[in-house]
Amino acid sequence: MLEHRAPLDQLSRARNTETLHDADAGLRVTPVTDRGLLLLQGSPEDAVLRDAIGRQIGARVPGPQTTDIRGEYALLWMTPKEWLLELPAAETSAVQGALVARLAPSLAAITDISDALACFDIGGDPAMDVLMTGCSLDLRPHAFAAGRVARTAIADVHAIIWKPGIAHLFRCWVDRSFAEHFWNWLADSPARW
Amino acid sequence: MSANAWRLDSGGRIDRTQRLSFRFDGSAYQGFAGDTLASALLANGVRIAGRSFKLHRPRGLFGSWCEEPNTIVQIGRGADLVPNLKATQVELFDGLDARSVNCWPSARLDVFAPLQLLAGLMPAGFYYKTFMWPNWHWFEPLVRRAAGLGVAPTLPDPDRYEERYEHCDVLVIGGGPAGLAAALAATRAGARIVLVDDRPVLGGALQWEEHIIDGQPALHWVSAVESELRAAARTRVLQRTTAFGCYDHNLVALCERSERTSPTAVRERLWHVRAAQVVLATGAIERPVVFPNNDVPGVMLASAAMNYAVQYAVRPGQRAVFVTSCDSAYDAAEALRARGITVVAIVDVRGEPGDSATSAARAGIPVMAGYGPARVHGARVTRGIEVRPLEQGAKSWRSDHVQRLDCDVLCVSGGWTPSVHLFSQVGGRLRYAPERAALVPAADLSTIRCAGSASGSFAVQDCLSEGFAAGREAAHLTGAAAECGVTPAALAKHAGVAPFWASPRDRRRKAWVDLQNDVTRGDLELAVRENLHSIEHVKRYTTAGMAVDQGKTSNMNALALLAELTGRRIPDVGTTDPRNVSRPARWSVLSSAAPHAPRPLAHRARRRVGRLRGLEASRLVRCARRFPGGARQIREARRADCGKPFRWFAARQNRSTRPRRSRFSKPHVLQQHAHSRRGPSPLRHHAQRARDHY
Amino acid sequence: MLRIPCPWCGPRDEPEFRWGGEVPLVRPGPPQAVTESAWAEYLFMRDNPKGLVRERWLHTLGCRQWFIVVRNTATHEIQATSALGDPLPEIRP
Ligand SMILES: [Zn+2]
């Protein structure tokens, strides 16, 4: 078994990564370290896959741009044949093992990619404004409602952004090698608004 | 002369309790909060505020906003230095340190001034013919020093610049009567809108023109609309923001300047707005008239004179003469007269000027109908004007009888030119409307419509009704269909105009067409004599309209004169295409990078503009990296590839299997087209692939 | 900058995409039997029409799917898009 290295390790050595809280603007940026990610690949028509997801976490396979949130689990649509399962980091191996067993009869694959991506919660009133300084998506509430997910570029790096449902909160996943860049960009943002 | 002689005792939208000190060319002056640098200079009696680009002739203030061709300044020092600003657009602040450009030591005393004695040696295109032997590069440093604008700062820019993406249903560009009416209608309809205005205060010309709108003074109406817009949750109002580019699929690039509240605040912000519908209410720019010596300090646009007098309470002069071919100048004359400035006469080139002239005469302003300007007296300052009676049609003089009128400010108005740069950038077609003496949008595009003066409707009542209708229609198309209320109405004003571009030819004296680039009527004639008939060729040969103002005051006159010289009608001459970034924007804001971004500024700026235009950044970068030696290496690679020297058309023929048709017929335009084409054309992709391969 | 409606992700800005050339473009084969001229034709010659054209785009930064776009090369109007595998969209002149 390989040694587990949290994606934000490098970042935390380099900088103070406690919650960035700008009281004046009301912006709050939190590095999230307790979430794991499983990548599911398969066909949306695959009954085994749908059944496995339903039985394991009670979720349905979401359609384009949407998510299905069940308690601590969130299943995010990525591409027509890929989904991300976001779950508590501690459960990652167990859930992966269970899903591997359930998916055995099908061609679907499941991979633990928790170490590949770093996660940030961006909340507070100016969260949307700050993100729209570097993201060309329309993030206004009527266009990017709760439960929406998108893969796009933020601050010139590839990112997954989704809205868990709490008002003014966005969750972003970026490649771990860009985590420091992304953090710097966010830390720099209170000066902008 | 004391400063009081130039500043009116009362009125104006300046704060007389707040005195601001500033310096211009090393001398200390004072102005008030609310002034622009230009109005403050005028209020201090500074008449020569700049030097012309080529001949170093003395020049004064000519316009009052973005149309200003003469008064280019640079402000600040060291890292704060900002070159090539128009004095008319610099808001005065305490401690402002401005210098005129292209002259030394100052605009008033310029050591290069004797260059104007050599004017005869520098006709249009002289640099294509001289300095070629033995090597242009020997002369280049000297020429560059003598002709040029500001000095670029050498220290890194300490300020912050940001970018911002925005989406909206309706984007209204322009905060004048048409823009405000459009924003009002769209807001009431329930659309999500962004209103953009490049001035510090909303209202546009309503700030200095006197109108009655909905039964109240125009400024009351403006503030009522402004508070309604600001109260609307779905409406964003951006002031001090210039829309400089309109790109594919309704992407509009804006540059927002901050008020500089703190040194760490963002200085300028680049907005990428993606709008479902765009309303262009960009207004119109008054057009000068071409006649001998029309560049002497003291000659200015009638609207500018009115703007200075009404908005800034500055006397543009003590004795004014108006030269006009349109009705709007009568309002300006009346405004000046009401503020105690002697209006010597209104010289109207039209034989029968109509009602405006009757009421002006009734108010005691002499109107000389059917007269034209023959020449301006004065070298460093206007001392008077000679007028002569014109033939019907204003093509020649009717008699030799010359009358001299003494004045120190000459207000000219040859009609209005709609500001359609953004409309043309996205491929909007123009048509010549003789009854308005202007090129106006031929038809709205499906998602972009023009309203008010920008579409050639210059009267305020038409601006309001057109703007309101445009805002309502645009909002309806995005699905916002709430009741918009009643269209604002104004007391009707006359907006009659007759086409008049230039006085009859005077071979002994220079008549200036493009003030910024020192292009005269003689230069245009020379170009035509040398067989350059296409407007694109004449533009490049004479440089008319190629200055940093992109010919805001000169293009239409150059076009009309070219039509006359070549015996064509104006629609047959065609127009030149305005470039994107239609108002100068800084590299800093174009690159708008976080402080830790690694690449050089120019590189980032170029990449950003390329992206806006749809040229894929990665390709440009790759190209530059592969060929550090520039064009020569590309040509060598091409030779290896095609077996012949690179010629665009040759490569084109080699590549194509069947004849291609194009709406462009001239090779140079074609080539430009190929480079500027937005989006991935297979042709360009292929060329790129060939280049990458080597 | 174009705004391209990805059939999966909705309208996105052009830098998120990669252009993939005109369709249909059929690779000649088998390789041994292809003449040089046919090969050159396949590699280098494109119709490049002025007007509506069907082309492939890849949503690199989004769903990473190839799809078909009907684009007007003169005006950049995008008339239709469709996912790969769906019937090719009609070109309506
Ligand atoms: Zn997509």
ipTM: 0.91
Domain contains C92: yes
Domain contains A86: yes
What separation in Å is there between the alpha carbon of C65 and the centre of ligand 1? 6
pTM of the predicted protein model: 0.88
Answer whether B278's CB lies under 8 Å from B447's CB. Answer: yes
Domain contains A100: yes
Q: What is the pLDDT of residue B130?
A: 67
pLDDT at C20 over 70: yes
Range of the domain at C56: 44-93
Domain contains C4: no
Domain contains C35: no
End residue of a domain, out of A112, A139, A160? A112
Rounded Cα distance between B273 and A127, Å, is 19
Same domain, A121 and A176: yes
Q: What is the pLDDT of residue C21?
A: 84
Distance, in angstroms, between C1 CA and closest chain B CA? 4
Distance, in angstroms, between B166 CA and closest chain A CA? 7
- Cβ contacts (< 8 Å) between B274 and chain A: which residues? 136, 138
Please tell me the total count of domains within chain C: 1
Any B CB within 8 A of A192 CB: yes
Domain contains A179: yes
Interface with chain A: mutation pick from C1, C2, C12, C17, highest number of A CBs within 10 Å: C12
What number is the average pLDDT over the span B84-96?
92
Domain contains C37: no
Domain contains A3: no
Answer whether B147's CB lies under 8 Å from B104's CB. Answer: no
Percent of chain C residues topping a pLDDT of 90: 43
What separation in Å is there between the alpha carbon of B353 and the centre of ligand 1? 63
Q: What is the CATH number of the domain that holds A157?
A: 3.30.1360.120
End-to-end Cα separation, chain A, in angstroms: 46
How does the average pLDDT of chain B come out, rounded? 83
Same domain, A108 and A124: no
Q: What is the CATH number of the domain that holds A47?
A: 3.30.70.1520
Same domain, A166 and A71: no
Domain contains C84: yes
What number is the average pLDDT over the span A60-87?
95
Domain contains A2: no
Q: What is the pLDDT of residue B114?
A: 76
pLDDT at B365 over 50: yes
Which residues are CB-contacts of A16 (< 8 A; sequence separation ≥ 6)? none
Please name the residue of chain B whose CA is at the shortest distance from the CA of residue C17: B616
Structure confidence by residue, pLDDT tens digits, B565-598: 999 999 999 888 777 777 778 777 887 654 445 5
Domain contains C72: yes
Same domain, A61 and A89: yes
Residue B625 binned pLDDT confidence (cut-offs 50, 70, 90): very low
Same domain, A121 and A28: yes
pLDDT at B490 over 80: yes
What separation in Å is there between the alpha carbon of C93 and the centre of ligand 1? 26
End residue of a domain, out of A71, A95, A112? A112
Residue B147 binned pLDDT confidence (cut-offs 50, 70, 90): low
What separation in Å is there between the alpha carbon of C88 and the centre of ligand 1? 18
Range of the domain at A54: 35-112
Of A25-29, B328-332, B563-567, B670-674, give the lowest mean pLDDT range. Answer: B670-674
Residue A17 binned pLDDT confidence (cut-offs 50, 70, 90): low
Q: What is the pLDDT of residue B106?
A: 81
Same domain, A24 and A47: no
Structure confidence by residue, pLDDT tens digits, A80-107: 999 999 999 999 999 999 999 999 999 9
Query: Strands, DSSP E only, in B466-618?
Result: 512-514, 519-520
Residue B639 binned pLDDT confidence (cut-offs 50, 70, 90): very low
What number is the average pLDDT over the span B271-299?
96
Please tell me the total count of domains within chain A: 2
Structure confidence by residue, pLDDT tens digits, C28-87: 989 899 999 998 888 888 777 888 889 999 999 999 999 999 998 888 889 999 998 888
3-state DSSP assignment of residue B527: helix
End residue of a domain, out of A112, A147, A176? A112
Which residues are CB-contacts of A76 (< 8 A; sequence separation ≥ 6)? A62, A67, A83, A84, A85, A86, A149, A160, A162
Q: What is the pLDDT of residue B261?
A: 56
Q: What is the pLDDT of residue B663?
A: 36
Answer whether B340's CB lies under 8 Å from B8's CB. Answer: yes
Interstrand relation of A169-175 and B519-520 (parallel, antiparallel or unpaired): unpaired
Q: What is the pLDDT of residue A24?
A: 64
Residue B643 binned pLDDT confidence (cut-offs 50, 70, 90): very low
How does the average pLDDT of chain A come out, rounded? 87
Of A30-44, B105-119, B521-535, give the lowest mean pLDDT range. Answer: B105-119
Higher-pLDDT residue of C67 and B127 is C67
Token readout for B534 is 């296409």
Answer whether B176's CB lies under 8 Å from B198's CB. Answer: no
Same domain, A63 and A107: yes
Same domain, A108 and A41: yes
Q: What is the CATH number of the domain that holds C76?
A: 3.30.2270.10
Of A11-15, A39-43, B205-209, B308-312, give the lowest mean pLDDT range. Answer: A11-15
Same domain, A51 and A106: yes
Domain contains C57: yes
Of A43-47, B51-55, B384-388, give the lowest mean pLDDT range. Answer: B51-55
Interface with chain A: mutation pick from C59, C64, C66, highest number of A CBs within 10 Å: C64
C-alpha to C-alpha distances, C19 to B476, B550, B684, B693, C54, nearest whole angstrom:
34, 34, 12, 18, 11
3-state DSSP assignment of residue A162: strand
What number is the average pLDDT over the span B355-365?
91
CB–CB contact C8 A64 (8 Å) = yes
Same domain, A76 and A122: no
Same domain, A41 and A62: yes
Of B59-63, B93-97, B261-265, give the lowest mean pLDDT range. Answer: B261-265
Same domain, A81 and A18: no
Domain contains C2: no
Domain contains A39: yes
